[in-house]
A and B are shown apart, each in its own frame.
Chain A
Amino acid sequence: GESVGLHLPTLSVQEGDNSIINCAYSNSASDYFIWYKQESGKGPQFIIDIRSNMDKRQGQRVTVLLNKTVKHLSLQIAATQPGDSAVYFCAEKRNSGNTPLVFGKGTRLSVIA
């Protein structure tokens, strides 16, 4: 079906290690993708985005990779810190201006100090 899903619902990572959060999408017409971070009791916050004409985009300590061949999106967090503990959502935008973002179910990242 048309959905954005996640391979791992929970992920535990040692502080200082790199984290990789994965997301699969099913609609090949999607042309824009966003990663959001949601801390406990707060609204989702934009982290990084990528358009379908790109394979990789880097931000501060975060990198998003897009593999259109297998419809896979990943978020890499370098040197994971306790403040990175949160739920991470991927979202996709279909190739139409008149459709809202479609959100995945989320992955909870727990950083072990």
Chain B
Amino acid sequence: DADVTQTPRNRITKTGKRIMLECSQTKGHDRMYWYRQDPGLGLQLIYYSFDVKDINKGEISDGYSVSRQAQAKFSLSLESAIPNQTALYFCATSDFTSGRPQETQYFGPGTRLLVL
């Protein structure tokens, strides 16, 4: 979905390096999420943010940090990358302010990260 963009799309880094993955959205949504997906497996929630001043840990937040710089931007950082953080990372957004009970999440195209 072009409304949710992720940069970079691919990244190779070395153990111990700090890296940042960025997510931007033009959907005007208030909520943003970061997920990790390992090959052949499902989505694991890392962090989520319901508005600019709100940050919440997900299932697997250890080794990661996030920053919600603006409503449209949510970045994920790996403080000191390790090989088992090699995975596909997805950003997602959802709209809660509309008041609709449904809250569909819309995903970006993903960032493929390889930690050597």
Which A residues fall within an 8 A CB radius of B? 31-32, 34, 36, 41-46, 49, 51, 89, 91, 93, 97-98, 100-101, 103-106
By beta carbon, the residue of chain A nearest B4 is A43
Q: List 13 A-B contacts (CB under 8 A).
A: A31-B101, A36-B107, A42-B109, A43-B92, A43-B108, A44-B107, A46-B104, A46-B106, A89-B43, A100-B45, A101-B103, A105-B42, A106-B41
Chain B residues with CB below 8 A from A98, complex form = 50
Q: Tell me the minimal C-beta distance from A54 to chain B in angstroms.
A: 11
Chain B residues with CB below 8 A from A36, complex form = 107
Contact A100:B48 (CB < 8 A) given known A32-B103, A34-B104: yes
| Other-chain contact of A43, B45, B48, B103, B107 (Cβ < 8 Å) | B107
Most chain B CB within 10 A, of A44, A45, A98, is at A44
Interface of B (DSSP majority class)? loop
Given the complex of chains A and B, what is the CA–CA distance between A43 and B42 in angstroms?
Answer: 12
Contact mask for chain B residues 66-101; partner A; CB cutoff 8 A; 1 contact, 0 none: 000000000000000000000000101010100001
Counting contact residues on chain B (CB < 8 A from A), the size range is: 20 to 34
Given the complex of chains A and B, what is the CA–CA distance between A105 and B44 in angstroms?
Answer: 9
Chain B residues with CB below 8 A from A104, complex form = 42
Contact mask for chain B residues 3-23; partner A; CB cutoff 8 A; 1 contact, 0 none: 010000000000000000000
Is there an interface contact between B105 and A101, defined as CB atoms closer than 8 Å?
A: yes
Chain B residues with CB below 8 A from A106, complex form = 41-42
Is there an interface contact between B102 and A43, defined as CB atoms closer than 8 Å?
A: no
